[in-house]
Amino acid sequence: LQPLPTIFDNPIIRYDTEDPTNKIGDIIYTADPAVMVKDDTVYLYSTHDEQALGTNDYRMYDYRLWTSSDLINWENKGAVLRYSDFDWARGSDKTGNAYAHHVIHRKDASGKSKYFFYVTVEGGQTNGEFGFAIGVAVSDSPEGPFEDPRAMPMIMLEETAQYKDHSWRNIDPAVFIDDDGRAYLYWGNKQLWWVELENDLIHLKGEKYTLDAQGKMQNRDLSNVKINAVKTLPNFEEAPYVSKHNGIYYLVYAAGFPESIAYATSKSATGLWKYQGVIMEPLPGTSTIHPAMFEFKGGTFLAYHNADLPDGGSYRRSVAIDRVYFNKDGTIKPIVRTSK
Ligand code: FUB
């Protein structure tokens, strides 16, 4: 058995290239890691920063997939989903920026695995106001192609209308499937929200709708849907990520601005979340940090992003991984950042 890595050649994603070893080619900037583990393979889905040097805004059009069986060697699987794959995605600047996302898998009734890709893209508003919305695309393969089964977002601006001033309040989806099979969608900026999902993982629990002749959702009615706000997380900024380790539920998130990584623990996926502190301080050169905590071959790891590639910055970020170590009481030791 190969020992699990404790030191990483961070950032782990450096080049966009035909070379599947990710060792040569043009520099690629990646951010917002979301990790899915299946059959001894780690599927790391990242966003993709394409901003020109010296310009201060996000330019993000597609989602990239990187796979590994040892967390050291990464294979570049290219772009597996784009904002333009969502018919409703369109921002005020006629683009549809593809912000952070999450990918999970679950077997359907016939025992076949399905892959669910939750995204943040601009568009989909019904009231003429532009903002970010959360959607989902589904595939039979972790490498896609992913298709939008709803043809409309899951969460739009009106669902969180208490925060009217804030058009990017519905970002950063993370889905957690509990041991009893119930699934929850978490998301938010400044305010953390969660909602239970239907078994199909593409509708909100209680969501009503009709289908038109083309099978597209219409007449959406959320009057029976309960959208919950979590109030116990100090400095919650964005990027929630829920996972379970040794019987404890963990919620890691980006806190404050510039962002650090903080976390909370709970006895259930629905809270009450108890704040436990900061495990990584803000990083040089980037105001965001976007954590994802996952288990692989018996170890626990934290993926996040830094700005450590040449010409890196807040809009030219890079995915990194480090090891997570727990204290006996389940609290997390401060993460030690490594590089080679
Ligand atoms: O990458 C765009 C946004 O920056 C993400 O949605 C946030 O989590 C932050 O990383």
Q: Across the 340 residues of the chain, what is the mean pLDDT of every consecutive 10-residue run? A: 91 82 82 97 97 90 96 94 92 78 95 97 76 96 97 90 80 98 97 97 97 91 96 96 98 98 98 98 98 97 98 97 98 97
Question: Which of 314, 166, 335 lies closest to 262, judged by CA?
Answer: 335
Taking the centre of ligand 1 as the mean of its atom positions, its distance from the CA of residue 32, in whole angstroms, is 6
Enumerate the β-bridge partners of residue 68: 42
Taking the centre of ligand 1 as the mean of its atom positions, its distance from the CA of residue 203, in whole angstroms, is 24
Check residue 121 and give its pLDDT.
95
Round to whole Å and give the CA distance between 226 and 204: 9
pTM for the structure as a whole: 0.96
Ligand 1 atom closest to 172 (CA): 6
Taking the centre of ligand 1 as the mean of its atom positions, its distance from the CA of residue 99, in whole angstroms, is 6
Marked catalytic residue, from 172, 196, 238, 308: 238
Which residue CA neighbors atom 9 of ligand 1 most closely? Answer: 288
Which amino acid type is present at position 225? V
Ligand 1 atom closest to 239 (CA): 8
Integer angstrom CA distances of residue 246 from 78, 154, 169, 291: 34, 31, 32, 19
Peptide bond into 272 cis (omega under 30): yes
Which residue CA neighbors atom 1 of ligand 1 most closely? Answer: 99
Round to whole Å and give the CA distance between 294 and 241: 10
Which residue CA neighbors atom 8 of ligand 1 most closely? Answer: 239
- Residue with tokens 């784009």, as numbered in its chain: 82
ipTM of the complex: 0.99
Integer angstrom CA distances of residue 182 from 108, 175, 225, 263, 311: 14, 10, 15, 22, 43
Taking the centre of ligand 1 as the mean of its atom positions, its distance from the CA of residue 143, in whole angstroms, is 22
Q: Within 6 Å (CB) of ligand 1, which residues are found?
A: 31-32, 47, 58, 99-100, 120, 171-172, 238-239, 288, 290
Check residue 8 and give its pLDDT.
97
Cβ pair 8, 302 in contact under 8 A: no
- Respond yes or no: is residue 238 known to be catalytic: yes
Which amino acid type is present at position 186? Y
Which of 290, 304, 316, 319 maximizes ligand 1 atoms within 8 Å of its Cβ, making it the mutation to test the pocket? 290
CB half-sphere exposure, 19, CA atoms < 13 A: 12
